[in-house]
Amino acid sequence: MKKIPVKVNLQESVNGKSNSRRQFLKVGSLAVVGTSLLLSCNNDDDNGMPDPDGVFDLGSGDLGILNYAYALEQLEAAFYTSVLDGSYWMSASAEEKLILEDLYKHEVIHREFFKAAITAAVNGDSSKVLPELEFDFSSVNFSDRGSVLGTAKVLEDTGVAAYNGAGTYITTPDYLVIAGKIVSVEARHAAAIRSIYMDDPKAFAGDDVVDANGLDLAKPPSEILSAVGATGFIKTEFTANQLPED
């Protein structure tokens, strides 16, 4: 099985095109904002660290939720990295290329934001920061449009439901503001993918993701992690023993 490392240099090229300095500064400024917010609270009661068997646990409280979000952002960033390395993207329409490249950049920004912010929050104690995960996307055919966009749809819809569900467990108001800003971007991603993938003009806000009250789905961490685990994409083992189950 091929294992794809998540790490992506923010200044590396995107299929031959370097990220602009402006894009890099956006990443840096977001990380600084997150760092200042995270440092304003006390995470002494959080225990994100390896268990005796060496398996990392996400931890409890706000730190646990942040590590949880970091895991999901690592997954999405790694997926879109593989998309941009695949033959489907190389031959896709100009519109689809632009959408997928933007999604790639956003997910890398989100991933790096959480990494920097959590590291600052725990004063550099790496034992409390989720490590870089490894992934196996061998079940995805990156030369096939349906396989790529179908997987993207699942990941984006899952990401929106994950942030919506995690909001109820966040105790620090500033974190909730940041989570709200990120989930709104994830919802834009989901709508964009649905619009180009599904043959339905109403798919961007379909009944399968928006209920009769006009509200998007919200799922607890346990349900999200179970669904993500079932994909087989995440190869690095970690636990969520201290996160709420419902």
Q: What is the pLDDT of residues 160-171, one digit of tens each?
A: 999 999 999 989
Residue 214 lies in a domain: yes
Tokens linked to 32 = 């600084």
Q: What is the CA radius of gyration of the chain?
A: 17
Does residue 15 register a pLDDT over 60?
no
Residue 74 lies in a domain: yes
Q: How confident is the model at residue 49 (pLDDT cuts 50, 70, 90)?
A: low
The residue range of the domain holding 78 is: 22-40+56-232
Report the number of distinct structural domains present in the chain.
1
pTM strictly above 0.75: yes
* pLDDT-above-70 percentage for the chain: 76
CA distance 118 to 39: 9
Kind of pairing between the strands at 56-57 and 238-239: parallel
- Predicted pLDDT of residue 234: 97
- Predicted pLDDT of residue 211: 75
Q: How confident is the model at residue 25 (pLDDT cuts 50, 70, 90)?
A: very low
Residue 188 lies in a domain: yes
